[in-house]
Amino acid sequence: AQKVTQAQTEISVVEKEDVTLDCVYETRDTTYYLFWYKQPPSGELVFLIRRNSFDEQNEISGRYSWNFQKSTSSFNFTITASQVVDSAVYFCALRSGGYQKVTFGTGTKLQVIP
Amino acid sequence: DVKVTQSSRYLVKRTGEKVFLECVQDMDHENMFWYRQDPGLGLRLIYFSYDVKMKEKGDIPEGYSVSREKKERFSLILESASTNQTSMYLCASSLGIRRTEAFFGQGTRLTVV
């Protein structure tokens, strides 16, 4: 069985603040993939990043960075200097082993206040 | 760019009606998925398909069926719509094993009255 927990239901920050979205996962497989998606108010989920279980390197893309720690089964997402356009629901997801099925967390709604 | 297109953005149907939700992708992806999204529950997988005419049940298949007669098209069928099927329905597709991220359509907000 696989599970993804996003304990933060809603977060509000003031523009230009940094914010970290938490993601904790559970799986018994040694090979797995983790994802982050963004769902803006328009509704379409947008793929942000994929990380496989063999690659614990952190990743930075502009104002976005991801911290993958197998020791704590976490894959956290940080937005630096947040902007109003970052307001969205963010989902963390997990795919284990040979399965095509992806398990999503319940999402974190981020509101960036101008 | 990958394009996943769902036939309707908003749909209102009556209880007991048979409802078809259509999804088309243009990138020759093997895998296609149907999810429903409800507040506080995130995305839950209804069905997925890894090839033409192949399908697998997801976490919540009850009350739904699917059809995949062509690689690019994946249909979700509500045999007899009920009010508890009022939800946002999201279709997604992904390439095979190596490229595992899914690309989503814009969603269909279905209301059953």
Give the range with max mean pLDDT: A21-25, B54-58, B96-100: A21-25
CB contact under 8 A, B48 and A100: yes
Length of chain B: 113
A58-103 pLDDT, tens digit per residue, is 888 899 999 999 999 999 999 999 999 999 999 999 988 666 678 8
**What pLDDT does residue B97 have?**
60
Closest alpha carbon to B48 in B79, B89, B91: B91
Q: Is B25 exposed, middle or buried (0-12, 13-18, 19+ CB in 10 A)?
A: buried
Minimum distance, in Å, between the CA of residue B52 and any CA atom of chain A: 15
Residue A4 CA to chain centroid, in angstroms?
10
Q: Check CB contact under 8 Å for B43 and A98.
A: no
Please tell me which of the candidates A43, A46, A107 has its beta carbon nearest to residue B107: A43
Chain B residues touching A40 at Cβ < 8 A: none
Per-residue pLDDT tens for B25-47?
998 998 999 999 998 889 999 99
Q: What is the pLDDT of residues B12-29, one digit of tens each?
A: 999 999 999 999 999 899
CA angle B22, B28, B29 (to 5 degrees): 75
Residues of B in Cβ contact (< 8 Å) with A37: 104
* CA distances in angstroms from B31 to A55, A101, B97, B104, listed in the order given: 25, 10, 9, 12
- Give exposure, B85-104, as e/b (b: 16+ Cβ within 10 Å): bbbebbbbbbbeeeebbbbb
What percentage of chain B has pLDDT greater than the value 90? 74
What are the backbone dihedrals phi and psi of residue B85, each rounded to the nearest 5 degrees, phi first? -100, 5
